Structure 1
Amino acid sequence: MDKLIEKFQFYYDAILQNAPSFLIGVVVLFIGFAIANFGKKLTENRIKSKLQNTLSRLFIAQIISGIIKIITVVIFLDLVGFQNITTKILAGAGILTFVIGFAFKDIGENFLAGILLAFKSPFKENDLIETEKVIGYVKELRIRETIIKTTDGKDVFVPNSQIINSPLINYTIDGFLRNEFLLGLDYSSDLSKAIQVIIESVSKTEGVLLGGKKPAVIIDEFAASTINLKVLFWLDTFKSSSKSYHLGIRTQVMKNVLLALTENEFSLPSNIVEVKQYEG
C-alpha cells in the first residue's frame, strides 16, 4: 500500500514540476485526437473511389485513427515528464507483442480476420448473410467483430475469426434470393394440373422473378395423408434489403396459391390420425 502511495505521489509531483509541459501535453492530446478523427474521415473519402465496400473503408479508417491516437498518447506521456513510462512502452513493445500472442490470442486473431474481411469483401453493408446459424443484415465491420442485425431485430456481435473460419452464406451478393414453402394435396389430385395452377399463380404475383429465375414446383415427399409439393420462387434483393419486403411477397404468393387451388377445387387435407379399438 505504501509503495502504491509513493507512486501516486511521484506522478503528482511530476505533474506539478512540469505544469507548463502538462498543459502543452493536454493541448497536444486534444489536437492529436482531433487529427485522428479528421484523418479517419479523410481516409474514408480518399479511398472511396478505390474501395466501393463501405465496411472496408470504415475498417481501414478505424485502424489509421487508432494508430494516430496511440502515437498521441505516447507523445503526451513524454511531454508531461513520464519519460520512463514512454521508454517502458517502447522498450517493452516486443515483450508486449509476445504476451499478447498468448494472453490475447483471440483479439489478435479477430483483428487479422477483420483485415482479411476488409480487403476480401465477402459482404457489404446491409447484405443478408448467414454464419454459424446467425442470419441477418450486416451493419458494421469493427476491428474485433462484425455487427449483424438478425431478421427478428437482435444485434449480434460475431467475432471476425468465426466468420473467416466458418462457412459464410451471402444471400444478396448477386441480387437473387430464393424462397420456398411446402403444401400438401390429396392423393387423388391431378398433380400435373395442380403444378400448372400453382406456377401460374406464383408467376402473377408482383415481385416474383420470371425468365431464367422463373418459379418451379417439385414433388417433395409422399406423406401419410398428402402428397407434399415444394414451391420455389426467386426475389430481387437489389430492390430492397428489408426482410419485411421479402416476407410480404412470400405471404402474398402463399395467399394467391391457396386461392387458386381452392378455386380449382383442389383439396388440401390435414393429417389423418387412425384410431383403432381392440376388444379386451
Structure 2
Amino acid sequence: MNYLDTLREQVDLMVKGFVQALPSIAIALIIIVITWLAAKGAVKIADRITGKTHIREDLKALVDTIVKLAIWIVGLLIAATAAIPSFTPAGAFAGLGIGAVAIGFAFQDIFENFLAGVLIMLREKMRLGDVIECEGILGKVEKITLRETHVRQLSNELTVVPNSMLFKNPVKILTDEVIRRNEVVIGVSYDTDLEQAQDIILKTVESIDAVNGDKPVIVYAQEFNSSSIDFLVQWWAKSTPRDLRQTKSEIIIAVKKALDEAGIEIPFPYITHTFKENVPLVQASTEGQAADNDAA
C-alpha cells in the first residue's frame, strides 16, 4: 500500500469538499453579517421604544441584551443550517438536551448570577446611583450587568459583586428615601438640670440648617451611665453618607459649644481600676504606666 498516494487522495478530497462548500460558507457569512446589522437595528428600535417610557436605565439595558441575544441565536442557527446541510435546529436542541446536565454543573455560577441579574433589574428597588450596604460592602451602585454589579465604595475602590450575592443576602439601600434619621448619644454630669440640658440640646440641633425641619428632633434622657446621664438625640437629614456625617459633625460641635456656654459639663468617662474604683481614665493610665516602670 502506497501511503503517500492515499494521503494525497485524502487531501484532494478535502480540498474538493472545501471548494464545494465555499458557496454555502459564503451564504452563512452573509447571513451572519445580516444578523449583525439586524441586531444593531433592533437595539436602536428597542431604545426608541423604551426611551418613551419611565423604566430604569439598567432595565433598558436588559431589554437591549435580550433583543440582541434572541436575534443572534436565530441568525446563527440559520447560518449553521446554510453552511452544514446536515445540521438542523432540532438536532442541535437534542444535542443540547443530552449535555444539559453537564453544562448546568459546569456553568452553575454563571447561570445563577445571570438569573439573579435579571431578577434584580426587574424589581423596583436598587437603582443606579443608590448607596447600598451588603455583607460588609458599602458604596454607590455604578453599573448593573446580567452577571455582576459594580459598587464604588466610599473610599473610592470599585468592588465587583456577583449578582447572586446581592439577591440571596439582605441589602440595605441607604438612599431609598431622600432623608434618613441619624442619632448621637450625649452625656451630661449628674448635677446638671436635665430639663435645661434637654432644652439646650433640642434648640441647638433644630438650629442646624442641614437638619430637616419637616421632621421632629427628638431628645430623650436615655439612661444612668457610670459617670453621666445620657441623652439620645435623633434628627433627620439627607440620606447620602457624606451629608449624614457632615450634619452629625455640625451637631456635635454646636451642642458642645452650647453646653459649655451654659456651664453644663460633659463628664470624662470613668473606668474601674484593679485597686481603685471610679478613677479617671487619664489618672488610671498614668498610675498604670508608673507601676509598669517600677516593676521593670
What TM-score does the superposition give when structure 1 sets the normalisation length?
0.76
SS in 1 for 2:270: coil
In structure 1, distance between residues paired with 2:242 and 2:85: 57
CA distance in 2, matches of 1:37, 1:247: 46
What is the CA-CA distance between 1:125 and the residue it aligns to?
Answer: 1.4
The 1:123/1:274 distance shift into structure 2, 3 A limit, reads: closer
Task: From the CA coordinates, give the structure whose radius of gyration is larger.
Answer: 2
Change (3 A) 1:189 1:49: farther
CA distance in 1, matches of 2:129, 2:224: 39
CA gap 1:102/1:263 in 2 versus in 1, 3 angstroms: same
Q: Deviations over 1:73-95 (max 9, x none)?
A: 44455555596598864432323
Percent sequence identity over aligned pairs: 26
Larger RCO: Structure 1 or Structure 2 (Cα < 8 Å, ≥ 6 residues apart)? 1
Q: Pick the aligned partner of 1:263 from 258, 261, 264.
A: 261
Counterparts of residues 135-154 of structure 1 (less than 5 Å): 135-154=138-157
Q: Which residue of 1 aligns with 2:206?
A: 203
Match of 2:283 in 1: none
| Equivalent residues of 2:150, 2:161 under 8 A apart | yes
Q: Secondary structure at the match of 1:92?
A: helix
1:229 corresponds to: 231
Task: Answer with 19-28 or 93-102: which moved more.
Answer: 19-28
Report the Cα distance in structure 2 between the residues aligned to 1:258 and 1:38, rounded to whole angstroms.
Answer: 64
Q: Which runs of 5+ in 1 are unaligned?
A: 1-9
d(CA) in 2 for partners of 1:34, 1:265: 78
Q: How many residues align?
A: 264
Q: 1:229 to 1:29 in 2, by over 3 A?
A: farther
In 2: Cα distance, 1:14 partner to 1:128 partner: 61
After TM superposition, the score normalised by the length of structure 2 is: 0.72
Equivalent of 1:251 in 230, 249, 252: 249
Give 1:179 deviation, angstroms.
Answer: 1.8
CA spacing shift, 1:264–1:111, aligned 2, 3 Å: same
Structure 2 residue runs of 5 or longer lacking an equivalent are 1-12, 277-296
Q: What residue number does 2:161 align with?
A: 158
Aligned partners of 1:94 and 1:15: how far apart in 2? 30
Contact map agreement 1:100 1:108 (CA 8 A) in 2: no
Deviation at 1:171, TM superposition (A): 2.5
CA offsets per residue over residues 97-147 of structure 1, 9 Å max, x none? 433433333332332222222222222211222333332222222112222
